[in-house]
Structure 1
Amino acid sequence: MEIRDVTADDLDAVLDSRKRAFGPLPASSVEPWRAMVTPSLAEGRYLGVFDGGRLIGTSRINSYDQWWHGRPLSMGGVASVTVAPEERGRGVGRFLMRGTIERCAELGHVASALYPATTPLYRSLGWEHAGARSRVTLPAEALRTLGARDGGVKLRRMGPDDAPEVRSVLERVYAATRASGPLGWEERITRQWLSDEDDFAYLADDGFVVYRWHDGDIDVENLVAGSEATARALWSLVGTASSMATTVTAAVEPDDPVLWLLRERSYDSVKQTRWMFRLIDLAAAVGLRGYPAAISAETVVEVDDPQCPANSGTWRLSISAGAGTATAVTAAPGGEVPRLTIGGMSALFAGVPTSTLRRAGLLAGGTPGADELLGTAFAARPYMLDYF
């Protein structure tokens, strides 16, 4: 077996592999799929496992910014992972994902995330469960009546040329809300997304919404709002479909303001799709992440990462004034220090509580004081609005 970049000549085989893994694409979706993936070929973002010239596995690495406590870092979103059915069970997936980790590093991504079809393979290579994409179903009529209290929010239709403004909105809102987990996309991808004629998109100064009709109801693909007035305006706009649609299903934050804006709320109908996270360059990721500005702390941890040896060793973590550093040290300074696999360190980075990590066997050694310090510094409630 060998791993090499997928080329345009391989796309028919890639499509066949994709159909066998995920089911057939509608005929109308084949050309848009080709248009979407073709730019990734020249960028070295589509990998194939070949055996004697025959394609037997694939993975694609999407380029994202991912915000962590309000600061973006470069994240490789792993998607389209396939292994030919007749080749499963002989290590193709593991071989492929080891190559995917190496390629993420070569592309400059300091972290990686994916939506797993199965946990054991990815966990064995360092990804760990970190957050979720939460989809809530709400009554359309309840949204219609929200309205904007001050009535001063101006909304306009949004199209492909608004891609830079979408980026600007995301940067401002995610920084202000200290968001952890949500994604920003390349302008090319944003333009393509906003070109879909089946989507309806509206823009405000500090927010936007993209939604579509689905089986007679409304499906909100993305809604971001930086203020109460904008949240009310965007959600009530979606709710104006209530004369035809009974429900609105939307991807939301764990503590999305819409759940506090609704007049009535007794239970939430929420479906979660879990995603996994992995640090590719530990030191760079720690340096790019944001942290609570009031925290000033320093501690030492030991990390083991067989796939990325540069992440292994003893690290001094220093947090101050909202910024952090990870500095390699030759030995731990006296006393037992917290020990983590790279999966445990990735989960800690993503805000999984130290009490959870310890009871799950992902954190060992150290002291209660170190646990509390680490848990406070890396506290987060990570989420994604997008599925890839």
Structure 2
Amino acid sequence: MPTDRIDIHLQPAGEGDIPAMAALWAEAFPEKPVQRRDRELREGLTFGDLSDCWVVEVDGRMAGALRTYRLTTHLWGHALPTMGLAGVAVAPDFRRRGIGRRMCIEALRIARERGDVLTALYPFRTSFYRDLGYVLAGDLHRYRFRPEELAMYPGWDRVVRAPKTGLTEARDIYARVAARSNGLLDRTERMWSFCDREGTYIYLHRDPRGRATGYIVVRGRGGPPERSRLRVLELVAEDREAYLGLLGWLSVQRDQWGRITYDALPGENFHRRLAHPRTASSSMSRGLWFHSAAILRGPMFRIVNLEALFALGEPDGEPPVDRPDDWVETLQVRDGQLPENQGRWQGGERVDPTLSPTINGVRSIGDVTALLLDGRLPGQPVPPDGWKPNLGLRDLRLLDEF
């Protein structure tokens, strides 16, 4: 069927759509069987529920579906309503007709109309979403190392297995750190369900007064020492002492685990903490150079409501960090999907919906989003008084994958 003959319109999913949605997502994303997807849709998803699901029907058949989660992202001291776009799937016999693209554009409209400022996703192909205004936002450096290559930092002996109330303490730590970080989400109880998986353990770092100031979530794969693996799922610390204590605890695990996998933020400079930063079992990558970490990239972000973003702060406020070299009073924005964002902006207000070829340069909505995430967007809301990034890390970190 030619593309121009297909009328694409997202409609809210109902209980009657569950079997078809479960079958579509099981086919598009085979990591979960159809029975599990059906059960999740009926009982509730990790990041939302059936009310977040949308479908497209063509001639009485489900041609596509997606989810628009209601999330809250912390960025430069502000909590921003965010649409988490997920599960974008088109039935195999409806592909290559522009359906997926038009579904996503409608989802952007849904996000804007319900009050979201940002949207975030994990892309199946970055070029597809870059054309829709999204920009890659975060980097992680994945290190695989032997525990003895990490120093036994002071405080490792104050790391203890979390008691039954440990998850509550970890959630409190996370909430405090999230408010002083870039990219972390407000978490619901269901979003902590990954801790319930068999073989997953939480350990808390306590300061000398007994207060929990950091936590680590790990999952192991046993076997002979040379083949055993310990995966760090999360390491969240409120201060340097807790951070070093948790790293020291990893070093102490050398008696049980042969290798540790840890995804570090670039700002952690984690390679400087390893006695030998070469990735286990890797060969020389270039002459006398050696491979030390793999770079992981993602998620992607996009601004959906520039006016609402600017309204969060003082119109004449300075950016939270140094101005970029090309900072100008007038910001010209091009947005091919949401025309409300397009035009010339001054002092946080759109003064003209048209673009001038003679005034300044024109930035795409993706470039504008990148400036926001980096804290360099002219006119973006300044952080609250006294706000400083946790551990001095300005990197964007989104622990949750939806």
User: For the superposition of Structure 1 and Structure 2, which TM-score range results when normalised by the shorter chain?
Assistant: 0.7 to 0.9
Tell me the residue number matched to 1:303.
333
For the Cα contact (< 8 Å) 2:139–2:265, is it kept in 1?
no
Cα gap change, 1:101/1:333 in structure 2, threshold over 3 Å: closer, same or farther? closer
Say whether residues 1:57 and 2:64 are aligned partners.
yes
Deviations 1:15-61 (A, max 9, x none): 2112221225258955774444288345x311111113322212112
TM-superposed deviation, 1:133: 4.3
The one-letter code matched in structure 2 to 1:339 is: V
Decide which of 109, 118, 135 is 1:102's aligned counterpart: 109
Decide which of 242, 246, 254 is 1:242's aligned counterpart: 254
Decide which of 128, 133, 148 is 1:141's aligned counterpart: 148
For the Cα contact (< 8 Å) 1:59–1:79, is it kept in 2?
yes
Decide which of 220, 227, 232 is 2:232's aligned counterpart: 220
Deviations 1:258-301 (A, max 9, x none): 44443444663123133221101112234548953676987211
Structure whose residues are more often helix by fraction: 1
TM-superposed deviation, 1:240: 4.3
Cα gap change, 1:277/1:237 in structure 2, threshold over 3 Å: closer, same or farther? same
SS in 2 for 1:184: coil
TM-score normalised by the chain length of structure 1: 0.77
TM-score normalised by the chain length of structure 2: 0.74
Say whether residues 1:314 and 2:344 are aligned partners.
yes
What is the alpha-carbon root mean square deviation over aligned residues? 3.7
SS in 2 for 1:386: coil
Decide which of 334, 340, 346 is 2:369's aligned counterpart: 346
Say whether residues 1:386 and 2:393 are aligned partners.
no
Out of 205-214 and 266-275, give the one that drifted further. Answer: 266-275
The size of the alignment, in residue pairs, is 354
Deviations 1:93-147 (A, max 9, x none): 012101211222233221011121123332222212232344332323334x423
Alpha-carbon separation, structure 2, partners of 1:112 and 1:255: 24
Alpha-carbon separation, structure 1, partners of 2:157 and 2:252: 18
Alpha-carbon separation, structure 2, partners of 1:309 and 1:123: 17
Deviations 1:274-330 (A, max 9, x none): 32211011122345489536769872111122322221121124xxxxxxxx22224
Cα gap change, 1:307/1:295 in structure 2, threshold over 3 Å: closer, same or farther? closer
For the Cα contact (< 8 Å) 2:215–2:246, is it kept in 1?
yes
Tell me the residue number matched to 1:363.
none
Alpha-carbon separation, structure 2, partners of 1:336 and 1:10: 50
For the Cα contact (< 8 Å) 1:302–1:315, is it kept in 2?
yes
Cα gap change, 1:334/1:124 in structure 2, threshold over 3 Å: closer, same or farther? closer
The equivalences for 1:1-388 within 5 A come to 1-25=8-32, 30=37, 33-34=40-41, 35-37=43-45, 40-42=48-50, 44-143=51-150, 145-147=151-153, 149-150=154-155, 153=158, 155-157=160-162, 162-163=167-168, 165-176=169-180, 179-180=181-182, 182-204=183-205, 205-214=212-221, 216-256=228-268, 258-265=270-277, 268-288=292-312, 291-292=319-320, 299-317=329-347, 326-330=348-352, 336-351=359-374, 381-388=395-402
TM-superposed deviation, 1:5: 1.5
Cα gap change, 1:55/1:107 in structure 2, threshold over 3 Å: closer, same or farther? same
For the Cα contact (< 8 Å) 1:132–1:273, is it kept in 2?
yes
The one-letter code matched in structure 1 to 2:274 is: L
For the Cα contact (< 8 Å) 1:202–1:210, is it kept in 2?
yes
Cα gap change, 1:185/1:300 in structure 2, threshold over 3 Å: closer, same or farther? same
For the Cα contact (< 8 Å) 2:155–2:245, is it kept in 1?
no
Alpha-carbon separation, structure 1, partners of 2:163 and 2:305: 37
Deviations 1:325-370 (A, max 9, x none): x2222489996223112222122222399xxxxxxxxxxxxxxxxx
The percent identity for this pair of structures is 24
SS in 1 for 2:308: helix
SS in 2 for 1:194: helix
Unpaired runs of 5+ in structure 2?
A: 1-7, 206-211, 223-227, 279-290, 384-392
Cα gap change, 1:41/1:334 in structure 2, threshold over 3 Å: closer, same or farther? closer
TM-superposed deviation, 1:197: 3.4
Cα gap change, 1:384/1:9 in structure 2, threshold over 3 Å: closer, same or farther? same
The one-letter code matched in structure 1 to 2:18 is: L
Alpha-carbon separation, structure 2, partners of 1:352 and 1:385: 20
The one-letter code matched in structure 2 to 1:183 is: L
Cα gap change, 1:91/1:333 in structure 2, threshold over 3 Å: closer, same or farther? closer
For the Cα contact (< 8 Å) 2:26–2:34, is it kept in 1?
no
